[in-house]
């Protein structure tokens, strides 16, 4: 790796690692924090559902503003998002009670972080095009490692120092991120290529008309992440009948997060062996197998094996879908494309939260996993159809030249 590439990659790694460390505090420990503040389970559900719905609305809107190539660049929005998260974390650390105020602040920072995630991905492609070469897969994979390690450390820290440690850690990570982002500037000598005849399709209907097969693929992805989020959100309910405990759950989550690194770090080499379309379908099949193994698991051993499928499912889907968007969309639509991919993950979580909780109460975890498996199968069929009608001159992920039909 050249010194220049090391320089850009190191800083992008820090940005990713701090982002996902904060993601752990705000998302993975949301229930722990809000319960301590006096929230009921119902109110926690409302808070997170509202934040997710708002993020689905704002992700393409903010992406559309960035795609217009004005003052709202990926870096500027990243800095603004980090500053808002920092301010919100400070407020949540200071405010000891007041459910309404905490509800508003927490929902907002949860939403802001979701809106920020696709921009972080789009920033890589912007910098790469400007000659600032970065190992994206390695950086994104180490982001997952940051999430895994922070989750384990935070759990122990809460037991010793109380729930306030969540916001203290977030403030530290966000401060580091803001400093690194401030100095993460493209060389001033770099001049972007002229847009030519490219236009931005900021209207949703215009975007769907321009990229119908992509939006169909997004529907399939929603189905993948329905099952993915069902397993993540209701892991303790799934494993308790199998003899699992909170400690077992921590191990299962750690396995999944840690095994994302090898796939993401090697993604450049993987994409030289197969097309993006085939890799995305393979990832979809891995989501199906992961859910099937969880459904069939008689004990924690098979649960752990199911979690290990993360390296072929989520860990493959995330970087390959990012490259696919970048290679198949007009320059002024690429940030929106990344946003819609992230929206598929969010919507999968929203539907999973609304439906699977009720299924658990009525039929139990086994039936919930059956429904999740069926939904994943439907998503795989939709994704297969969407990707097969997508026109491209090359089967190589890095050389697709034509756009969606």
CB 287 within 8 A of CB 224: yes
Distance of alpha carbon 168 from alpha carbon 30, whole angstroms: 15
For residue 138, what is the domain's CATH number? 1.20.1250.20
**pLDDT per position in the chain (405 positions), as tens?**
555 556 899 999 999 999 999 988 888 788 788 888 888 877 887 888 888 889 988 988 888 888 776 677 889 999 999 999 999 999 999 998 889 999 999 999 999 999 998 899 889 888 888 888 889 889 988 988 888 888 778 878 888 888 899 999 999 999 999 999 999 988 764 444 444 556 667 677 888 888 888 899 999 999 999 999 888 878 878 888 998 877 787 788 888 888 988 999 899 899 888 888 899 999 999 999 999 999 999 999 999 999 999 999 999 999 999 999 888 888 788 888 888 998 998 899 888 877 887 888 888 889 999 999 999 999 999 999 998 876 543 444 544 333 444
- Does the residue 91 lie in any domain? yes
- Do 248 and 157 share a domain, yes or no? no
Distance of alpha carbon 46 from alpha carbon 107, whole angstroms: 9
- Do 210 and 341 share a domain, yes or no? yes
- Does the residue 217 lie in any domain? yes
Name the residue range of residue 86's domain. Answer: 1-184
Unique residue bearing structure tokens 């290529």:
193
- Do 254 and 391 share a domain, yes or no? yes
* Torsion angle defined by CA atoms of residues 260, 266, 268 and 272, in that order, rounded to the nearest 10 degrees: -110
- Does the residue 189 lie in any domain? no
- Does the residue 131 lie in any domain? yes
Distance of alpha carbon 352 from alpha carbon 48, whole angstroms: 12
- Does the residue 193 lie in any domain? no
- Do 87 and 148 share a domain, yes or no? yes
Distance of alpha carbon 90 from alpha carbon 96, whole angstroms: 12
- Does the residue 230 lie in any domain? yes
Q: What is the pTM of this model?
A: 0.81
Q: What domain count does the chain have?
A: 2
- Do 180 and 205 share a domain, yes or no? no
- Do 326 and 363 share a domain, yes or no? yes
Q: Could you write out the three-class secondary structure of the chain?
A: CCHHHHHHHHHHHHHHHHHHHHHHHHHHCHHHHHHHCCCCHHHHHHHHHHHHHHHHHHHHHHHHHHHCCCCCCHHHHHHHHHHHHHHHHHHHHHCCCCHHHHHHHHHHHHHHHHHHHHHHHHHHHHHHHCCCCCCHHHHHHHHHHHHHHHHHHHHHHHHHHCCCHHHHHHHHHHHHHHHHHHHCCCCCCCCCCCCCCCCCCCCHHHHHHHCHHHHHHHHHHHHHHHHHHHHHHCHHHHHHHHCCCHHHHHHHHHHHHHCHHHHHHCHHHHHCCCCHHHHHHHHHHHHHHHHHHHHHCCCHHHHHHHHHHHHCCHHHHHHHHHHHHHHHCCHHHHHHHHHHHHHHHHHHHHHHHHHHHHHHHHCCHHHHHHHHHHHHHHHHHHHHHHHHCCCCCCCCHHHCCCCCC
């Amino acid at each position: 790796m050249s010194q220049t590439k090391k320089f850009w990659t190191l800083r992008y790694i820090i940005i990713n690692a701090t982002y996902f460390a904060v993601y752990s505090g705000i998302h993975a420990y949301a229930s722990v924090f809000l319960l301590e503040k006096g929230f009921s389970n119902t109110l926690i559900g409302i808070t997170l559902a509202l934040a997710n719905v708002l993020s689905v609305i704002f992700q393409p809107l903010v992406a559309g503003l960035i795609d217009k190539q004005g003052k709202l660049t990926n870096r500027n929005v990243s800095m603004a998002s980090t500053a808002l998260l920092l301010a919100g974390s400070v407020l949540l650390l200071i405010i000891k009670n007041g459910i309404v105020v905490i509800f508003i602040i927490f929902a907002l920072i949860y939403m802001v972080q979701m809106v920020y995630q696709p921009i972080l991905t789009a920033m890589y492609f912007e910098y790469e095009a400007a000659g600032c070469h970065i190992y994206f897969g390695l950086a994104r994979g180490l982001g997952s490692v940051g999430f895994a390690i922070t989750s384990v450390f935070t759990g122990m820290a809460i037991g010793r120092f109380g729930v306030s440690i969540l916001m203290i850690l977030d403030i530290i990570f966000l401060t580091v991120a803001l400093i690194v982002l401030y100095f993460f500037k493209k060389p001033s000598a770099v001049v972007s290529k002229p847009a030519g005849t490219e236009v931005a399709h900021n209207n949703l209907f215009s975007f769907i008309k321009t990229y119908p097969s992509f939006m169909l693929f997004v529907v399939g992805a929603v189905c993948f992440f329905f099952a993915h989020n069902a397993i993540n959100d209701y892991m303790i309910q799934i494993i308790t009948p199998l003899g699992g405990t909170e400690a077992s759950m921590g191990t299962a989550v750690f396995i999944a997060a840690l095994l994302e690194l090898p796939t993401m770090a090697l993604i450049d080499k993987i994409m030289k062996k197969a097309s993006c379309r085939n890799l995305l379908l393979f990832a979809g099949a891995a989501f199906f197998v992961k859910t099937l193994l969880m459904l069939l698991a008689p004990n924690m051993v098979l649960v752990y094996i199911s979690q290990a499928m993360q390296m072929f499912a989520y860990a493959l889907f995330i970087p390959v879908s990012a490259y696919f968007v970048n290679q198949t969309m007009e320059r002024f639509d690429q940030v929106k494309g990344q946003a819609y991919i992230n929206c598929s993950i969010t919507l999968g979580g929203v539907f999973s939260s609304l439906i699977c909780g009720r299924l658990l109460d009525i039929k139990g975890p086994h039936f919930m996993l059956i429904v999740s498996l069926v939904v994943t199968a439907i998503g795989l069929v939709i994704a297969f159809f969407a990707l097969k009608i997508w026109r491209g001159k090359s089967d190589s992920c890095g050389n697709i030249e034509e756009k969606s039909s």
